Amino acid sequence: MALSGGSTPKAIFEGLASPEYALRVDWQHVWLFWGDERSVPPQHADSNFGMAMHAGMGRLPIPPQHIFRMHAESHIEANAAAYEALLKAELPDGRFDLVMLGMGNDGHTASLFPGTEALKVFDRWVVANPVPLLGTDRMTLTYSCINAARNIAIYVIGESKAEMLDRVLEDPYSPDLLPSQAVGTEGSKALWILDKAAGRLLLG
Ligand code: 6PG
Q: Mean pLDDT of all residues in the chain? A: 97
Whether the CB-CB separation of 34 and 3 falls below 8 Å is answered with yes
C-beta 8 within 6 A of ligand 1 = yes
Question: Looking at ligand 1, which atom is closest to the CA of residue 105?
Answer: 17
- What is the arithmetic mean of pLDDT over 155-181? 97
**Residue 109 beta carbon below 6 angstroms from any ligand 1 atom:** yes
CB 139 within 8 A of CB 36: yes
Is the C-beta atom of 179 inside 6 A of ligand 1? no
Find out whether the beta carbon of 4 lies less than 6 Å from any atom of ligand 1: yes
CA 99 / ligand 1 centre spacing (Å)? 13
Question: What's the whole-number mean pLDDT along residues 84-89?
Answer: 98
How large is the angle between the packed helices 48-55 and 7-16, nearest 10 degrees? 30
Mean pLDDT of 120-133: 98
Distance 69 CA to ligand 1 centre (A): 17
Give the mutation target among 3, 109, 126, 161 for probing the ligand 1 site: most ligand atoms within 8 A of CB.
109
Q: Which residues contact 78 (CB under 8 A, 6 or more apart)?
A: none
pLDDT of residue 183 exceeding 80, the answer is: yes
Residue 36 Cβ contacting ligand 1 at under 6 Å: yes
Indicate the pLDDT class of residue 86, thresholds 50, 70 and 90: very high
101 has a pLDDT exceeding 80 = yes
Give the pLDDT score at 7: 94
Stated as kind and residue range, the H or E segment containing 101 is strand 98-102
H helices present in 71-177, as ranges: 76-90, 143-146, 162-170
Our answer on whether the CB atom of 7 is closer than 6 Å to any ligand 1 atom is yes
- Over residues 7-25, the mean pLDDT reads 96
Q: Tell whether ligand 1 has an atom less than 6 A from the beta carbon of residue 12.
A: no
Nearest alpha-carbon partner for 75 in 119, 111, 39, 50: 39
> Is it the case that residue 118 has pLDDT exceeding 90?
yes
Over residues 58-68, the pLDDT tens digits come to: 999 999 999 99
Query: What's residue 203's pLDDT?
Result: 78
Cα separations (Å) of 118 from 40, 162, 197?
19, 25, 30
pLDDT band at 30 (very low <50, low <70, confident <90, very high): very high
Report pLDDT for 92.
86
Q: What's residue 187's pLDDT?
A: 87
3-state DSSP helix/strand/coil % of the chain, to nearest 5: 40, 20, 45
Given a cut of 80, whether residue 204 has pLDDT beyond it is: no
pLDDT at residue number 100: 98
Burial 176-199 (b: 16+ CB within 10 A, else e): ebbbbbbbbeeebebebebeeebb
Which residue type does 91 have? L
Across the range 106-113, mean pLDDT stands at 98
**Ligand 1 pocket, mutate which of 14, 36, 116 (most atoms under 8 A from CB):** 36
CA–CA distance, 155 with 170 (Å, rounded to integer): 17
The more confidently predicted of residues 92 and 25 is 25
Instruction: Give nearest CA residue, ligand 1 atom 14.
Output: 6
Q: Report the percent of the chain where pLDDT is more than 90.
A: 98
pLDDT at 16 (0 to 100): 95
* C-beta separation of 92 from 50 below 8 A: no
